[in-house]
Amino acid sequence: MSEVTISAADVNKLRQQTGAGMMDCRKALMESDGDFEKAIDYLRKKGQKVAANRSDREAKEGVVIAKASADNKYGVIVNLSSETDFVAKNAEFIAFANELTDIAIATKAATVEDLKAAAMGGATVADKLLEQVAKIGEKIDVIRYEFVTGEAVVPYIHAGYRIGVLVSLNKAANEANVAAGKDVAMQIAAMNPLAVDADNIPAETLERERAIAVEQVLAEGKTGDMVEKIAQGKLNKFFKENTLLPQAFVKDNGKTVADYLKSVEGDLTVTGFKRVAVG
Q: pLDDT of 158-194, one tens digit each?
A: 989 999 999 999 999 999 999 999 999 999 999 999 9
Per the CB < 8 A criterion, the answer to whether 156 and 66 are in contact is yes
153: exposed, middle or buried (Cβ count in 10 Å: 0-12, 13-18, 19+): buried
**2 vs 179, residue with greater confidence:** 179
Lowest-confidence pick of 118-122, 136-140, 147-151, 171-175: 136-140
Closest-CA residue to 156 (of 268, 250, 273):
273
pLDDT at 2 over 90: no
In whole angstroms, what is the distance from residue 107 CA to residue 114 CA? Answer: 9
State the pLDDT at residue 58.
62
Domains of the chain are 8-45 (1.10.8.10), 61-195+270-277 (3.30.479.20)
Strand bridging mode 248-249 / 163-169: unpaired
State the pLDDT at residue 16.
77
**138 vs 117, residue with greater confidence:** 117
Q: Average pLDDT in the 248-256 region?
A: 95
Q: pLDDT of 29-76, one tens digit each?
A: 999 999 988 888 888 777 666 654 444 456 689 999 999 999 999 999
State the pLDDT at residue 75.
98
Q: pLDDT of 85-132, one tens digit each?
A: 999 999 999 999 999 999 999 999 999 999 999 999 999 999 999 999
Q: pLDDT of 202-246, one tens digit each?
A: 888 888 888 888 988 888 898 888 998 999 999 999 888 899 999
In whole angstroms, what is the distance from residue 91 CA to residue 93 CA? Answer: 5
Q: Residue 157's pLDDT band (boundaries 50, 70, 90)?
A: very high
**84 vs 2, residue with greater confidence:** 84
φ, ψ of residue 128 in degrees (nearest 5): -65, -35
Nearest 5°: CA angle at 89, between 87 and 93?
Answer: 60
Tell me what percent of the residues of the chain surpass a pLDDT of 70: 94
Q: Residue 271's pLDDT band (boundaries 50, 70, 90)?
A: very high
